[in-house]
Every structure is written in C-alpha cells, then in structure tokens.
C-alpha cells in the first residue's frame, strides 16, 4: 500500500510538474513589468506655481501670486522630465516653454546626459530655448531635412516615454487642447528609442555634408 502511494504520488508529480512549469512560463511571459506606468496628461494645464518642483522648499514658501500646492498637468509633466537620473533624449518640433527649459537645464546641471533634436525652422521661433540650452553646454541638433521634424517626444533614462500632440511651448501648455502620454510600456518605449538614435545619427553635423534644401512653409497644417 505504501509502495502504491509512492508510485501514485510520483506519477502525479511527473505529470503535474512539467505542466505547472509550462503554465507558469506562459503566465510570466504575459506579465507586465512591476508597476508599469501608463498615464495621460491633458492640456491646457491649470496655471499654478511650480517653484517647489525645482527646489526642496514647501509649495507654501513661495510668495508669487499664482495658486500653490496644486497638482497640474504641467507639474506632472515636469516631474516626469525631472525623474531622469542618467539621460534625457528630447525630440521636439518647437521648444519655447521656460519651465520645461528650466527642467532640462536642471538635469544638465545634475550631470544627466541630455541630447536635444529639434526642427531647423522652428529653432528661430520667438522665445526658442534651443540657444539657451546650447549656451549651457547641452548638445542640440537641428533636423536638416526639407520637411518638418514634427515629433514631440522625450525619453527619460531610456525607460520612460513622454509623447503626444504637445509642443514644448507656452501656448501649447497653457492654452491649447493637447495630450501627452507618459508610459513605461517597453513595446512603445523601444521603437521611440530607436527612432531617436536614427534621427540623432542622421543629423550628426560631422556626417551631413549635403546641401540643405529650403523647407516647406513653416506654420502650414503639417
């Protein structure tokens, strides 16, 4: 009877173990990475003080007339950008927003490797921050193609993607109806990381010796 029990248990284990391992393997392959972030921010953002995001001070310690201690789409976007600890790859059509520029400069000051790619024609828009970033020592390249480099995405530490309709301008943040997706989903992050590298290398000034054609009219419904 004891031998019969042993045989039964061993037989059951012999069937159940490989089946269980196969099932577990399949489940693990379909698991999300722990705590995968998927967030959507809509704009226009409420106007509120963001001073505390750049410093360790309490929101209440700022004396400016804007509302304090309010979490807004802009404050969430700034926090996502400022979460970078090793790299920020930014690929944005138009960049004139002072708060976002301040965040990028803060990262550079902290030693985060920042690369900025922007549209050649929109580098000259009123209030463009590209010159400010370059003066601070940040490497910024302009897309040299004859059409618009219309992306508006950022990659934080190669793991967090920030992308959407929002150009990094004051009008886009404070006035327009816009969206930004913030995601750690690897199937979305990976293609954008490859796209950034492709465009970054394509616009390496050392490589682009070809004559540049005039672009399409800036401001067309691109």
Q: Return the number of the residue (96 or 99) whose C-beta is nearest a second copy.
A: 96
- Taking residues 19 to 48 in sequence order and writing x for each that binds a second copy by CB under 8 A, - otherwise, the string is --------xx-xxx-x---xxx-x-x----
* Structural tokens at position 162: 């920030």
Buried b (16+ CB within 10 A) or exposed e, 113-142: ebbbbbbbbbbebeebbbebbeeeebebbb
Ramachandran assignment for 219, one of left (phi > 0), alpha (psi -120 to 50 degrees), beta (any other): left
Closest alpha carbon to 46 in 30, 14, 64, 69: 69
Backbone phi and psi for residue 13, each to the nearest 5 degrees, phi listed first: -65, -40
Q: Return the number of the residue (83 or 145) whose C-beta is nearest a second copy.
A: 145
Q: Return the number of the residue (125 or 160) whose C-beta is nearest a second copy.
A: 125
Q: Return the number of the residue (5 or 205) whose C-beta is nearest a second copy.
A: 5
Catalytic residue among 108, 148, 151, 152: 152
Catalytic residue among 52, 68, 150, 215: 150
Whether 89 is a known active-site residue: answer no
* 216 touching a second copy, by CB under 8 A: yes
Q: How far is CA 202 from CA 94, 143, 192, 197, 209, in A?
A: 19, 8, 15, 8, 11
Lookup result for tokens 């099932």: 23
The C-alpha angle 203, 92, 212, rounded to 5 degrees, equals: 35
* 178 touching a second copy, by CB under 8 A: yes
* 153 touching a second copy, by CB under 8 A: yes
Whether 148 is a known active-site residue: answer no
Rounded to a whole number of angstroms, the minimum distance from the CB of residue 137 to a second copy is: 25
Give the active site residues: 150, 152, 157
Q: Tell me which residues touch a second copy (CB under 8 A).
A: 1-2, 5-6, 9, 27-28, 30-32, 34, 38-40, 42, 44, 93-94, 96, 122, 125, 143, 145, 147-153, 163-167, 169, 171-172, 175-179, 181, 183, 185, 187-188, 191-192, 195, 199, 216, 218-222
């Amino acid at each position: 009877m004891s031998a019969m029990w042993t045989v039964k248990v061993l037989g059951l284990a012999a069937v159940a173990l490989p089946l269980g391992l196969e099932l577990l393997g399949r489940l693990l392959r379909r698991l999300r990475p722990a705590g995968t972030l998927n967030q959507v921010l809509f704009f226009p953002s409420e106007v509120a003080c963001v001073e505390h995001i750049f410093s360790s001070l309490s929101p209440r310690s700022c004396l400016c007339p804007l509302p304090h201690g309010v979490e807004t789409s802009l404050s969430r976007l700034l926090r996502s950008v400022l979460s970078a600890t090793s790299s920020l790859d930014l690929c944005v059509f138009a960049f004139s927003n002072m708060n976002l520029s301040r965040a990028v400069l803060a990262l550079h000051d902290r030693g985060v490797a920042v690369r900025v790619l922007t549209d050649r024609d929109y580098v000259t828009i009123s209030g463009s921050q590209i010159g400010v970033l370059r003066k601070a020592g940040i490497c910024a390249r302009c897309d040299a193609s004859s059409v618009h480099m219309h992306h508006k995405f950022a990659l934080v530490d190669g793991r967090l993607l920030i992308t959407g309709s929002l150009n990094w301008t004051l009008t886009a943040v404070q006035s327009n109806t816009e969206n930004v997706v913030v995601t750690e989903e690897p199937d979305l992050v990976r293609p954008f990381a490859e796209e950034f590298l492709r465009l970054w290398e394509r616009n390496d000034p050392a490589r682009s010796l070809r004559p540049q054609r005039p672009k399409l009219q800036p401001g067309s419904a691109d």
